[in-house]
Amino acid sequence: MNSRRVNVVATAVLLLSLAGTVMTLRTLDGMRRGATLREVLYFRSPKMLRRMSLGYSGLVADLYWTRAVQYFGSHHIAQASDFHLLSPLLEMTTDLDPKMTVAYQFGSNFLAPAPPNGAGEPEKAVALVEHGIQHNPDNWKLYYALGFIYYMDLKDYKKAAETFERGAAVPKAHPFLRLLAAQMAQHAGEYGMSRMLWTATYETTTQEQIRRNAIDHLRALRVDEDVTQLERIVGSYRERTGQLPSSINDLVRAGLIGGMPVDPTGQPYKLTPDGRIELRNPDAILYITKGLPPGHRSPQPKPEPTPPSGK
Amino acid sequence: MPAIETINLAKTYAVGFWRRKPRTALLPLNLQIEEGEIFGFLGPNGAGKTTTLKLLTGIVFPSSGTARILGKEVDDPGVKAQIGFLPEQPYFYDYLTAKELLEYYGQLSGVPAKDLSSRVNEMLSRVGLSDAARTQLRKFSKGMLQRVGLAQAILHDPKVVFLDEPMSGLDPIGRREVRELIQQLKQEGKTVFFSTHILSDAEALCDRVAVIHKGELRGVGAVAELTAQVHGKVEITFNASAAPAALRQLGADMHINGNIVSAVLPEENQEAALEVLKRERLRLTSLTPVRSSLEEYYVQNLQPAEKSMGVGA
Amino acid sequence: MNSRIANVAFNTFREAVRDRVLYNLIAFALLLSAAAILVGQISIDIERLVVVNLGLTAVTLFGVVIAIFIGIGLVSKEIEKRTLYTVLSRPVRRWEFVVGKFLGLTGTLLVNTFFMAIGVFLALLYVSRHFERGDFSITAALYFIILQFLIVCSLALLFSSFSSPLLSAVFTFALFVIGSLAEDLRGFAAAAKGITAMLAGTVAYLVPNFSAMNVVNQVAHGEPVSGQLILCNTVYALLYSAMAISGAVLIFQRRNLK
């Protein structure tokens, strides 16, 4: 077997096995979807994982953080209903690296809300952030995150105020904490309060998903406010003229509004025959509570895709 | 068909990080060595001897040209069974014993299993290592390693044997034994190609030699032919108590012992020297041609090269 | 032809053994015994977990280190020390040499792992006095570890066919670490965009997929390993090794030895 034949055979083997490995990898990936994530369930005790990290717990924390973000991101896109691994992943991350602020913020934003927007585990979220505060008592962002959960998901305005107060006492705390605490008593539940909170959330983090989520909520708030405002104007028109306007143009001609109002996606608002304001495309904007057609159901969360048989 | 043949065999290495500086290790070499010859390959260190040997044994690939052994190209697998190679300062698998090493090499060379053990024992005794057969090579001295190296080179009874500095590391007795071995190989009809920078060995053993310097072949031929090219010298001895100045002017080296003077001078000045003696009335005792050695051919041959090479080779 | 490969393989094995590589088994045995005894004394209710986790992780790490150290020596050291000159001037084809080395190396690791496996099972028996049904899957985990060794050996050989011993060791070890996180890497590549996605994707597919072969946790909890996974991993390991070895052969074919 001379040299040239060896080269030819070796090259052929190389290319064929390369193709083969890629194909096998695809099959393997299909079989083991989420396997690395489920690994998290094997570590009943975070202490053990920390020991096994041999001092590189920071690195392992980063790994788990990456998995948590990807896990949530992929499920969120699929609008799944089950995020049961998010809590263990975040707990693992923060146990290995108790100073990872962004992980606590993530938990505050996504562990607490109900699916499909979050894992629906507000108590776990509270426990997570409390753990963070324990290890970082001077980190005002964590108090903010905790207060946020109390306000948004648990609707416990008193506790929220207390937490913001606690946070405001921390050196170098952002002044809005004091402001939030002060305003809570009178303005809890109002649009202005929510808007302040979501804006604050947006500004206290650089994490992409948290920011996008905050923007989505801010847009929804704008829609809700717009719709409320417009419907009030419709009411004034009716008082003035005794009838409902036939279109929004009537309102413009009556001088009650300056120009055609559009929703945050640029679509003009629609006036229904019974005087309500609706969005042209209600599914385009998330989290809105007004401007929906009656009986409109928001897109349902998709169930978690079942893994193939056998683990 | 020559036993070993090179046709414009050359090797250039691309050296340097960006492979910009090519280093020519061997300029196109044309040699033909017949079967049964003992051929010496001479040159100073770094001349290209080892490179040539590696090219001939398939360890390094030529940049251009070809080499053939017994009519076939070097990379033909059939050829390898017919050659044996002793590299310079050989190094073997430390943890094997001499016997195990030779058995392993024998297997690789295709020595039939039934003959293997006896052949190995035979080789070991031939190179004088029978006592050390079961000792690990780690414990071998340099001389012993050299002998193992020889043994593995001839173990499978190859027709052509390549030896790179076979005498290195050996004491005078060892060198004598190697010389005898090489002569035995010739008697067995094998072709021996060896490189060395020890000229006396080459002179004693070789049918023909080639001299190589800085990658270039400087001369090839039988030892006698080459030394004949060197300008001869004569030695004149005479009675005197002092050396005549005139002789010195003729280029004589003089040596005075008691009242006998011996003067060695170039052959062409022989007549002039005799004239000097006649004039001084000095009695000539003997006149002998001095056989010039390969060393002189060597040195003479290399020096013009030094001058003509100039800077930056 | 086949006998030459077998000869090279056997010689490689012999060299490794005499190089006192197998002494690592002593260190391993000590480590595992100490852990088993300690854990048995403290009786912390997860003795089995610790023994299996620690045992299998140690088998993997010890084995990888050995694979790298011997593997690097296979070609790099031979070139440096010039033992190759007298081998390559013989009728052994270069590719036969590479394949023989590979088989010898994996054979050494197989023997090594075998003894270590006995150690793990003995330690397990010591701490829990009996075997449970789930323990059988430990053999599956060990099989996967051997598959990992196959790939590591082939990589060590590939790198040492053109690189210095130190660099070869570094590259192989780096690939081992990255490969252990290969599934995460592919997840990351899938979520990234643009050039990063392409680069990450290419790397993620070329890097050896050790993460799918790491079932230590699963097995420590007594869960079975699916037959499908065993099949896929076997095919993958064989193909990947073939890829690395053929690369090594191609490089070695034209290598000029200094």
Bridge-based pairing state of the strands B160-164 and B191-196: parallel
Whole-angstrom distance, CA of residue B123 vs CA of residue B186: 17
Nearest residue in C to A18, CA atom:
C243
Domain match, B213 and B239 both: no
CA distances (Å), origin B269, targets B173, B231, C155: 41, 11, 73
Least confident window among B2-16, B115-129, C136-150: B2-16
pLDDT tens digits, one per residue of B44-63: 877 888 899 999 998 889 99
Across the strands, what pairs with B6?
B31, B67
Q: Give the pLDDT score at B310.
A: 39
Q: How many CB atoms lie within 10 A of CB B89?
A: 13
Domain match, A200 and A230 both: no
CA distance A88 to chain B (A): 51
Whole-angstrom distance, CA of residue C154 vs CA of residue B6: 38
What is the residue-wise DSSP string for B204-264? HH-SEEEEEETTEEEEEEEHHHHHHHSPPEEEEEEE-SS--HHHHHTT-EEEEETTEEEEE
What angle is formed at CA B257 by the lines to CA B254 and CA B262, rounded to 5 degrees?
35
Show residues of chain A in contact with C223, CB under 8 Å: 311
Show residues of chain B in contact with C90, CB under 8 Å: 80-81, 105, 108-109, 156
pTM: 0.78
Average pLDDT, chain C: 85
pLDDT tens digits, one per residue of B165-181: 888 878 888 888 889 99
Looking at residue A207, its amino acid is Q
Q: Give the pLDDT score at A311.
A: 37
Domain match, A249 and A108 both: no
CA distances (Å), origin C164, targets B58, B276, C118, C232: 22, 70, 36, 34
Q: Which of B61, B93, B108 lies closest to C90 in CB terms?
A: B108
Does residue B301 sit within a domain? no
Q: Could you tell me the CATH number of the domain that includes residue B190?
A: 3.40.50.300
Q: Give the pLDDT score at C44.
A: 60
Domain match, B239 and B218 both: no
Q: Give the pLDDT score at A289.
A: 80
Asked if B138 and B170 count as a contact pair (C-beta separation under 8 A), the reply is no
Asked if C56 and C138 count as a contact pair (C-beta separation under 8 A), the reply is yes
For residue C6, how far is the Cα from the chain centroid? 21
Domain match, A125 and A270 both: no
Asked if A134 and A110 count as a contact pair (C-beta separation under 8 A), the reply is no
The dihedral formed by the CA atoms of B101, B104, B105 and B108, expressed in degrees to the nearest 10: -170
Q: Give the pLDDT score at B92.
A: 83
Asked if B208 and B32 count as a contact pair (C-beta separation under 8 A), the reply is no
- Sign of the torsion angle spanned by Cα atoms A275, A280, A282, A284: negative
Domain match, B167 and B279 both: no
> At residue B304, does pLDDT exceed 70?
no
Number of domains into which chain B is organized: 2
Domain match, B23 and B76 both: yes
Whole-angstrom distance, CA of residue C1 vs CA of residue C11: 16
Provide ipTM, 2 decimals.
Answer: 0.83
Asked if A79 and C196 count as a contact pair (C-beta separation under 8 A), the reply is no
Q: With CA atoms as reference, report the closest residue to B154 among B195, B111, B198.
A: B111
- Touching chains, B (3+ CB pairs < 8 A): A, C
Q: Of C216, C239, C252, which to mutate for an interface test with A (greatest number of A Cβ within 10 Å)?
A: C239
Q: Does A8 touch chain C (CB under 8 A)?
A: no
Number of domains into which chain A is organized: 2
Higher-confidence residue: C37 or C171?
C171
- Residue C240 pLDDT class (50, 70, 90 cuts): very high
Asked if C58 and C93 count as a contact pair (C-beta separation under 8 A), the reply is no
- Residue B230 pLDDT class (50, 70, 90 cuts): low
Q: Could you tell me the CATH number of the domain that includes residue B255?
A: 3.30.70.980
Residue B276 structure tokens: 């000097």
> At residue C129, does pLDDT exceed 90?
no
Whole-angstrom distance, CA of residue C128 vs CA of residue B13: 64
Nearest residue in B to A4, CA atom:
B75
Whole-angstrom distance, CA of residue B85 vs CA of residue C89: 7
For residue A133, how far is the Cα from the chain centroid? 21
Q: Which of B54, B60, B80 lies closest to C91 in CB terms?
A: B80
Higher-confidence residue: C66 or B292?
C66
Q: Which of A1, A14, A63 lies closest to C247 in CB terms?
A: A14
Q: Is B266 helix (H, G, I), strand (E, B) or coil?
A: strand
Domain match, A52 and A152 both: yes
Domain membership of residue B259 as a residue range: 231-290
Domain match, B56 and B180 both: yes
Does residue B69 sit within a domain? yes
Q: Cβ–Cβ of C221/A42 closer than 8 Å?
A: yes
Domain match, A184 and A51 both: yes
Whole-angstrom distance, CA of residue B53 vs CA of residue B40: 12
Q: Give the pLDDT score at C188.
A: 78
CA distance A6 to chain B (A): 12
Q: Give the pLDDT score at C54.
A: 82
Domain match, A100 and A249 both: no
Q: Give the pLDDT score at B308.
A: 42
Show residues of chain B in contact with C11, CB under 8 Å: 93, 96, 104
Domain match, A164 and A247 both: no
Q: Which residues of chain A have pLDDT under 50?
A: 306-311
CA atoms within 13 A on the CB side of C187: 24
- Residue C230 pLDDT class (50, 70, 90 cuts): very high
Domain membership of residue A253 as a residue range: 225-284
Bridge-based pairing state of the strands A270-271 and A277-278: antiparallel
Q: Cβ–Cβ of B76/A2 closer than 8 Å?
A: yes
Across the strands, what pairs with B136?
B97
Domain match, A197 and A114 both: yes
- Residue B229 pLDDT class (50, 70, 90 cuts): low
Q: Which of C94, C187, C223 lies closest to A311 in CB terms?
A: C223
Whole-angstrom distance, CA of residue A106 vs CA of residue A90: 8
Nearest residue in A to B73, CA atom:
A2
Show residues of chain A in contact with C236, CB under 8 Å: 21, 24-25, 28
Q: Give the pLDDT score at A309.
A: 39
pLDDT tens digits, one per residue of B276-289: 888 888 888 888 87
Looking up tokens 């008593």 gives A185
Q: With CA atoms as reference, report the closest residue to B247 among B231, B271, B229.
A: B271
Q: Cβ–Cβ of C209/A22 closer than 8 Å?
A: no
Whole-angstrom distance, CA of residue A126 vs CA of residue B310: 85
Q: Could you tell me the CATH number of the domain that includes residue A104?
A: 1.25.40.10
CA distance A286 to chain C (A): 22
For residue B173, how far is the Cα from the chain centroid? 18
What angle is formed at CA A49 by the lines to CA A46 and CA A55, rounded to 5 degrees?
120
Does residue B197 sit within a domain? yes
Domain match, B21 and B76 both: yes
Does residue B281 sit within a domain? yes
Q: Cβ–Cβ of A28/C212 closer than 8 Å?
A: yes
Q: Give the pLDDT score at B312.
A: 39
Does residue A311 sit within a domain? no
- Touching chains, C (3+ CB pairs < 8 A): A, B
Domain match, A101 and A236 both: no
Residue A221 structure tokens: 């708030």
Higher-confidence residue: C206 or B223?
C206
Average pLDDT, chain B: 84
Domain match, B165 and B58 both: yes
Q: Give the pLDDT score at A20.
A: 94
Q: Cβ–Cβ of A14/C246 closer than 8 Å?
A: yes
Higher-confidence residue: C216 or C40?
C216
Alpha helices in A32-114 (DSSP H): 35-38, 46-52, 57-77, 86-96, 101-110
Domain match, A202 and A230 both: no
- Sign of the torsion angle spanned by Cα atoms A192, A193, A199, A200: positive
Write down the domain spans for chain C: 2-253
Cis-peptide into A116, omega within 30 deg: yes
pLDDT tens digits, one per residue of B149-161: 999 999 999 999 9
Whole-angstrom distance, CA of residue B114 vs CA of residue B125: 19
Q: Does B77 touch chain A (CB under 8 A)?
A: yes
Whole-angstrom distance, CA of residue C253 vs CA of residue B287: 63
Looking up tokens 């969120």 gives A76
Looking up tokens 């109390």 gives A150
Asked if B34 and B3 count as a contact pair (C-beta separation under 8 A), the reply is yes
Does residue A299 sit within a domain? no
Domain match, A179 and A262 both: no
Domain match, B255 and B162 both: no
Residue B20 structure tokens: 């910009």
